[in-house]
Chain A
């Protein structure tokens, strides 16, 4: 009887709890488990403390964990510098592999956001979109109000392109970028790049010289197969390059741009490979390589894992990578003495080869101040320090006597070159770039290098010297260059619409045609019809958008 009397109240309570739990989800920006931006800011006094919450990756290297940052002297120095400025950081460290998922969800939900967040996994347009909805703030106006001028001064001194690259058409800036600049022996570097590399040990074995033109390259590749350069009894020495892309080194020997729409540096023109003089010659050459078994058809669309497998199997006669790379040889565990030699090959006598160059002056990544930041003044103060000579020294060089030393000429010399991350972690010889740079806050890297250090690094002299040549602003060989990060202003709304409407379709069609032409399934004689179709799909509109963005960038 008693049980029956209690039933109704009990069920009523349960029903109420169910209803309450439904309403709980409708709560606004809540106290969840996550800390809200817990900044303090009572007055505009110089002496006030600033506590800022920062969210980023938990590490850049598997051996150097940001959670163990207190063990490293460079972090202690960094924290001291911040403390002197009244700044305390509360870190939210997310495992790096999980970060893209986490940040996409949190930003889309616009809830439980920290004061400063690493948005490098999102693209420019997405972050600008967050800026327009107010999820991230316009830091340009915040800088005008609170900055002591250090940020802009540093950008103007080392990275004059920084402001241009991150300012929207309506004159707003929604993030702070990481910045990097290369200096070699006191002179600015133009930037290294990508080039074809051929097996030098196979050349020596075959008694052949490095190729300098397309015919010689073909002869050398054929000889590798005929003479069984890898000694496994099969004709499997092939070119391991991206076969379905315009950016594979072989295309560049014919002066072809590396992207569907790219900015030619020496003419400031937006170009497409389909309109370039060497494109047909490139396709014919690839057909020749394919028909002679010097390209493996199964590598069309293959992932990097599969291509790397071919390199590991000691089958890659020709590859395309950074000039001074020294990691591909390490993959070839089944053969001794494997060595790749960079080669400058001209596909066509009348066309200068193109060169895909990485800017020495890099502006990349995105670190935004979110709407939850109550202490914008503190955030700007933090970035004033980040973009300062002192932080640049901690970030790139680290601690004198531990990670670098000063030589007799007064130059800084790294003490960690040639050592593994694990060795550096054990000795504590870690710079800021492994702790806060690129992970939590922008990296500010003024990379002063010396040729003698490069030569002592273990990379072959041939690679170092070609790298030096390509890097030299006075060089006359690598002048038909295209930057890996294009010199483009952020797109307007209309341009975003055009890009969204046409880019995917044009890229898909063009790639289909390229692969079909190389494989021979599409006749070259129908070239004009393919171009006409590309134009109908919007190729010219895309070129115009890129040209306009580049023009605005150059004019700003």
Chain B
């Protein structure tokens, strides 16, 4: 009876307007990605002429073939996968181990520690001081220059907030039974914290996957470059500022670069975005549950 009533619900003006607005937002959000997708499978001539709008013209998968055969791309992808795994593990480790002591009632100078953690969230040293620290620690041109600076204080705060939301009676009873802090953390808090850990993991994975700035500053060795650096290099290699050209030879080189493989960059964008697009649904249930978890109080 209730179902029949629901199915017969009439559309009001508000419903129509809201649906229309949502459709517009959907199109505006999805179309750019769709546009890149159809360019990536269209013929290079049609792409350079700019004549593609809704459907691909002249199906062409040659660019994907070039990408799949490019060993530099695979090396960059392996590098990125390695940075993602290692970076995520380090982020989870530091977030959990830093957050747990902050939840213990007997911790001395807790306010000082929290202040020490919060201050960099408001004031950053900037690029040059950070470069000096990274270089001074001997991390320049190593993988640690892109992994370690990615650890975020915000995640410590998130985990701490989540730990606080877990009923303290659980941990108190464990201590009474003789459990150590490590046992409480590993056997009680961690299993209950899967949603927040999933949230932090997905944020970290996406962040490291998409990052290129750290690599562009600290990694001059091409063999260590992540995928986004590879993409950036291909894109920059094809777009040249003609106003900086000072000779006929340089103009000839510049025009050659702009003409070759114009369509390749679109194929690259799709190929590089695919892994993240595939991973997101796996974390979605945790993401939806966990994104607001930091704000819950007991």
Contact = CB atoms under 8 A, between A and B. Distances in A.
A327 B136 contact: no
Interface stretch (A23-31, A289-297, A522-530): A23-31
Contacts of B236: 97
Contact of A105 (B127, B237, B253, B257): B127
Main secondary structure of the interface of B (DSSP, over half): helix
A30 B220 contact: no
A331 B237 CA distance: 18
B192 interface: no
B124 interface: no
Nearest to A358: B247
Contact of A109 (B131, B216, B225, B233): B131
A215 to B, nearest CB: 30
A26 B240 CA distance: 39
A49 interface: no
B220 A98 contact: yes
* Chain A: number of interface residues, binned into ranges: 35 or more
A33 B247 contact: no
Q: Most chain-A Cβ atoms within 10 A of its Cβ — which of B131, B135, B256?
A: B135
Q: Most chain-A Cβ atoms within 10 A of its Cβ — which of B136, B232, B252, B255?
A: B136
B118 interface: no
Interface stretch (B29-37, B63-71, B138-146, B169-177): B138-146
Given A33-B142, A111-B132, A97 B237 contact: yes
B136 A24 contact: yes
B135 A112 contact: yes
A278 to B, nearest CB: 23
Interface residues of B, number: 45
A102 B128 contact: no
B49 A312 contact: yes
A312 B48 contact: yes
A355 to B, nearest CB: 15
Contacts, number: 117
B233 A95 contact: yes
Nearest to B219: A98
Interface in A371-397: none
A484 B259 contact: no
A485 B142 contact: no
A362 B135 CA distance: 38
Interface in B120-173: 127-129, 131-133, 135-142
B273 interface: no
Interface in A403-450: none
Contacts of B216: 98, 101-102
Contacts of A96: 237
A488 to B, nearest CB: 15
B259 A330 contact: yes
Interface string A205-229: 0000000000000000000000000
Contacts of A78: none
Given A3-B180, A34-B141, A305-B258, A324 B135 contact: no
Given A304-B258, A312-B48, 16 more contacts: A3-B180, A25-B129, A27-B136, A34-B141, A102-B217, A105-B127, A105-B217, A109-B128, A304-B241, A305-B258, A309-B50, A313-B51, A321-B251, A327-B255, A333-B45, A484-B246
- Which 10 A-B pairs have CB atoms at the shortest separation, nearest pair first? A25-B133, A97-B236, A327-B255, A27-B136, A97-B233, A312-B48, A309-B50, A313-B49, A32-B135, A33-B141
12 contacts: A25-B132, A25-B133, A25-B136, A30-B135, A102-B220, A105-B131, A109-B128, A109-B135, A309-B48, A325-B251, A331-B48, A364-B247
Interface of B: 45, 48-51, 127-129, 131-133, 135-142, 180, 216-217, 220, 222, 225, 229, 232-233, 236-237, 239-242, 246-248, 251-253, 255-259
